[in-house]
Amino acid sequence: MSTVVITGARGYIGSALAKSLSSQGCALRLVSRATVPQNFDRASGTIDHVQADLRKEQSWQTLLDGADAVVHLSARTDLRAAEANPKEERELNVEPVEALIRAARNCRRPFPVVFASTVTIAGHAPPIPVSEQIQDEPCTVYDRHKLECETMLRDATRQGFLRACSLRLANVYGYGSGIASINSNRGILNEIMRRAGRGETLTLYGKGEYVRDFIFIGDVVDAFCRALVSDQVRDGSHYVIASGRGYTLAQAFDLVAKEALRCTRRAVEIRNVSEPSDLNSIERRNFVGDSTLFQKLTGWRAQVDLQNGIRDYFQRSLTVSRVAGAPHEAA
């Protein structure tokens, strides 16, 4: 049985990945900054919840001891918070990777690491579709820091301390393990599905003409699992993880409204409003990803299209709500 360290394990992707790896028989070290759950049974031996400050090398030394691989998901993803306080954002997003690399120097073998990155490193106006060959044009603090982390991991891999790769994720959505993303400006589709499930009006900026590539959470989890077992991809490179199909925001909102009506019998209004004047250029981007390289190396392929992913969200939300005694509420 392999032991995998997952940072950001209480988050949206981390919790879904932990559930998948646990079902595959992996032992897990689930890392977060929060306090360890009081009802956690440490005698189980297969899942260990760890509270750690990932900016400290000693924390990483403890985490790596006896482990087989790391999936580093922990990050603050709030675009506006990063722009407002770049120094604090760097402490939270870059310093942990620096500490990981220092700790990995003491390992007896190159340590496997899969890093969660973002397709927005390509910038606000990349040529479409975006593959690994596109020149990077990061235009936000968050994206520049993600690229800095990718570069450090690539260099550490070339120096022989790590066997790392970075997965650049498109817009991730879906029910997952039932834990919502805490950041609405990085999880717009989940946010509007929650609102639609409650029968609330959906607010769409302008005509909703910006194009996004929405990738289902289950497909993202599968990509991380394949990267963990593929030595070929962990060569310091980055890979685009996307569905390969673009939808305008208007099309996505319309699909959400239709599925909400079908599943909850609630008609959802979509209201067009003017764009706010302070909208960041990265929020005005058009994006469609090309994951051909990762597909060729791992056999991975996005399996769930947008309509079915949205339908899955409402069906699972309704099931949970009914169990909780609220049969007419889709959370």
pLDDT recorded at residue 103: 97
Q: Encode pLDDT of 309-328 as tens digits.
A: 999 999 998 877 665 554 44
pLDDT recorded at residue 33: 77
pLDDT recorded at residue 125: 94
In contact, 303 and 145? CB cutoff 8 Å:
no
Mean pLDDT of 60-71: 96
Task: Give the torsion sign (CA, 36, 41, 42, 47).
Answer: negative
Structure tokens at 10: 């209480």
Q: Global pTM?
A: 0.92
pLDDT band at 279 (very low <50, low <70, confident <90, very high): confident
- Calpha distance 175→319 (Å, rounded): 12
Contacts of 296 (CB under 8 A, 6+ apart): none
Give me the residues paired with residue 164 across strands: 113
Largest CA distance in the chain: 60
pLDDT band at 150 (very low <50, low <70, confident <90, very high): very high
Q: Please determine, for residue 19, whether its predicted confidence score (pLDDT) is greater than 80.
A: yes
pLDDT recorded at residue 39: 43
Q: Encode pLDDT of 222-244 as tens digits.
A: 999 999 999 999 999 999 999 99
Structure tokens at 282: 């990265």
Name the CATH topology of 3-173+215-244+290-304. Answer: Rossmann fold (3.40.50)
Q: Please determine, for residue 42, whether its predicted confidence score (pLDDT) is greater than 60.
A: no
Structural domain boundaries of the chain? Answer: 3-173+215-244+290-304
How many degrees, rounded to 5, is the angle at CA 16 between CA 122 and CA 99?
A: 60
